[in-house]
Amino acid sequence: MAGFELYAPRKASHRRTWTWAIIVLTVIMTFASQIAALLPYIIKTAMAVQANPALGKGVPPPEIDPLALFFMTAPVIGMILLWVWLFERRGPATIGFNGKAFLRVARGYLIGAGFLAFVVCSLWALGVYEVEKPGVLMAPSLAGLMPILGYAVAFLIQGSSEETAMRGWLMGTVSSRLGIIWAVIINSIVFGAMHLLNVKPSPEMFAGCANVALFGIFISLYAVKERSIWGVCGWHGAWNWLLGVGFGLEVSGINLKVAPLVVDLKDAPNAAWWLSGGKWGPEASILTTAVLAAGIAWLIWKGALKQMDGQPVEKAS
């Protein structure tokens, strides 16, 4: 299949990083950023265990507050933009940051929040979830709202970092070489695989990673349809924020220690894991599978895979 420039024309001076190298570099950048952000906790924990070895088996995982989440993910965006600029001789527009930023982010944010609210509210209506306690909105206070607003910003950055790497850099490069279909497939598989370590191996872990890959296909088609990643950055940020901070549920197996905004939900007794998502959260639910599949079908029906409007390659003079 012929190459296809998704986001901006490719000039003769532009370079393209090898596909496998993008995958390796993304993993390195992601883990390096996370380790750097959590370094104070790692050092503090190591010193505590050294002083009292009995703590070794009972050390709790670090709490991911808004500041930690920001510094775990924001550097990834910066490192990718620097690589694209310095090594590939390209600008931000070539990986999807190409105009109408506010409109696309806002629209994507609202759509992402709507998708998530539909999934969670449907599961609650089916009796899969039950209310553990009211949310901050029932008795709003500055102290309660500040971390929630902090997470809103942090999750927008976190979602944008993954979209920059997967739908911007990786998908754009693969599309340039092999076309849209292979670009969608490859980046979605990589995206799902990068979540394999979120929880211990279990049925919900495999279902969750499969749905993450399915989400990758859906959000890739969204980016292809818009010829931009601004919208998917908003979509991704809203989904994660409303899931973990709005309803108090797990985000890909990660539970946040924050009072939820809307309501604090938990699995109902005897709720089937394939409906609730179990330890992974709603992203492993069969309802999420159905919603994402419907979204994929709609985007394909609306012409997301049509390549007639691709960006041309500039010939060398």
Taking only the tens place, the pLDDT of each residue in 91-139 is 999 999 999 999 999 999 999 999 999 999 999 999 999 999 999 999 9
Predicted TM-score (pTM) of the model is 0.91
Mean pLDDT of 21-33: 94
Instruction: List, in order, residues 6 or more apart from 95 with CB less than 8 Å away.
Output: 7, 80, 81, 84, 164, 168, 169, 172, 229
Confidence tier at 316 by pLDDT (50, 70, 90): very low
| Mean pLDDT (whole number) for 36-57 | 72
Residue ranges per structural domain of the chain: 19-301
| Segment 202-212, tens digit of pLDDT | 999 999 999 99
Tell me 239's DSSP state: H
Summary mean pLDDT of the chain: 92
- State the Cα–Cα distance between residues 191 and 198, nearest whole angstrom: 13
Looking at this protein, which amino acid is placed at residue 72? M
Whether residue 170 contacts residue 190, with contact meaning beta carbons closer than 8 Å, is answered with yes
Query: Which of 36-40, 296-300, 304-308 has maximum average pLDDT?
Result: 296-300
